[in-house]
Amino acid sequence: METHFSKEQLKDKDNKSSEKILRKCVHCGFCNTTCPTYNLLGDELDGPRGRIYLIKDIIENNKPANEKIVKHIDRCLSCYSCMTTCPSGVNYMHLIDHGRSHIEKTYKRPFSDRLMRNFLSQVMPYPLRFRIIGILTSIIKPFSFMFPEKIKSMISLMPISFPRKNLPKKEIYFAQGEKKPIARVALLAGCVQQVIAPQINEATIRLLNRHGAEVVVIKGIDCCGSLNHHLGKSDLANKTFKKNILAWYDEYLNNGLDAIISNTSGCGTTLKDYKFIFRWDDELKKKAKKVSELTKDISEYLEENVKLNFINKNKNEKEYKIAYHSACSMQHGQKIHDVPINLIKKTGNKVFEIPEGHFCCGSAGTYNLLQTDIAKKLLKDKISNIKKVNPQFITTGNIGCITQIASGTKIPILHTAEIIDWYTGGPKPKILKNL
């Protein structure tokens, strides 16, 4: 694609990167075929190629975004399915991040929109605030019909109660056994996940400890920063990124870290991108690069570093039919697809991929709260595709997808780490108690 940035404009690091990305696009439109919003809405501007033109227009001409542009950019899920399809290697992720940040700086959203986005930005990344809002929400849940559609959706996605934590809160969870630990890893505790599904971190810690790895959960690191990053709130996001990078790098230097484990693929994708985000920052670039290089999804880490002690499958009475939902951030963002499937197969159960599995379930961070109609349609399609494989339960590696899919079906859904923990000596997940 031809670009016309001036020399002055190219002094800006984001313009410079975006120019390189834009020049790779050959307008072929292959990406449209796998874009969920293009398939659903049929508008060129609701597909990646159209959005690329919109972003080019505002950044190259340095003009403020308008209502029409914002509408189409906001409808993008950041699922990155288009990146998997693109034959030219266009990094749409970095381009839309730039576009969103430009929108945030140049466009004044309607009041209700600003209120909602600021609320999400000020509540979701903070576990305590989120818990308080969750408790308040459970009180008003019976009256949710009185609220506008978006608030109603938000209330419906909130659990009625939060599960109790079974593992005491500690900074270091020591490896089991007499031998020297095989590794020392940091776990990203996450923000929303540690409140609504603490069992995921608990299964991850148990599993790693049982196989000889020491797990460090560094105080003060909760959110990875992607929530604000995807809302276009770059300053807030960068503050979180910086805090996390400094804390992990300090731990790496002083006590040693072999990996940083993420068990939420959305967060893992962002952690792996810290090195790009701080590429121009003299103080942070080396540290950010190290943090990104150390980051591994839990499935990736287990596959590469741990000899899992699966319990002999004959000891388990049943063979389950499991549907694997490949989260977009896992398959498109981190290009991890077969690894979790192969791990689950080692439990001796039958694993089925979901038809049209490259399409998003509609969760996409805060998307299901901001673009409720599109998210609901995508969820409906996802559930109907899940039903085609008739599973007894579903598994995935991303809390957003777990919450979204659970809101549309009674088929139990759990994190892949919970299955691996169970089949290597951990407890059977409570959600499967009737199976």
* Nearer to ligand SF4 among residue 215 and residue 378 (C-beta): 378
Binding segment toward ligand SF4, per CB under 6 A, in 84-92, 107-115, 315-323, 425-433: 84-92
For residue 330, count CB atoms less than 10 angstroms from its CB and return exposed for 0-12, middle for 13-18, buried for 19 or more.
buried
The least CB distance from residue 414 to ligand SF4, in Å, is 26
Candidate list 20, 30, 163, 316; residue touching ligand SF4; CB under 6 A: 30
**Residues touching ligand SF4: how many (CB under 6 A)?**
25
What's the gap between Cα 3 and its chain centre? Answer: 32
Candidate list 5, 80, 252, 367; residue touching ligand SF4; CB under 6 A: 80
Helix (H, G, I), strand (E, B) or coil at 352: strand
Question: Is residue 107 within the footprint of ligand SF4 (CB under 6 A)?
Answer: no
Question: Is residue 28 within the footprint of ligand SF4 (CB under 6 A)?
Answer: yes
For residue 431, count CB atoms less than 10 angstroms from its CB and return exposed for 0-12, middle for 13-18, buried for 19 or more.
middle
Question: Is residue 400 within the footprint of ligand SF4 (CB under 6 A)?
Answer: no
Question: Is residue 90 within the footprint of ligand SF4 (CB under 6 A)?
Answer: yes
Give DSSP secondary structure letters for 273-339. Answer: HHHHHTTT-TTTHHHHHHHHHHEEEHHHHHHHH----PPPGGGSS---EEEEP--HIIIIIS---HH
* Nearer to ligand SF4 among residue 49 and residue 206 (C-beta): 49
- Interactions with ligand SF4, residue window 310-369 (CB under 6 A): none
Helix axes 234-254, 265-277, angle to 10 degrees: 90
CA torsion 98-102-103-106 (nearest 10°) is 180
The least CB distance from residue 122 to ligand SF4, in Å, is 26
Candidate list 3, 62, 88, 144; residue touching ligand SF4; CB under 6 A: 88
* Alpha-carbon separation of residue 61 from 9, 47, 64, 79 (angstroms): 10, 21, 9, 27
* Nearer to ligand SF4 among residue 205 and residue 267 (C-beta): 267
302 contacts 415 by C-beta, under 8 angstroms: no
The least CB distance from residue 96 to ligand SF4, in Å, is 7
- Interactions with ligand SF4, residue window 45-64 (CB under 6 A): 48-49, 51
Candidate list 13, 16, 26, 304; residue touching ligand SF4; CB under 6 A: 26
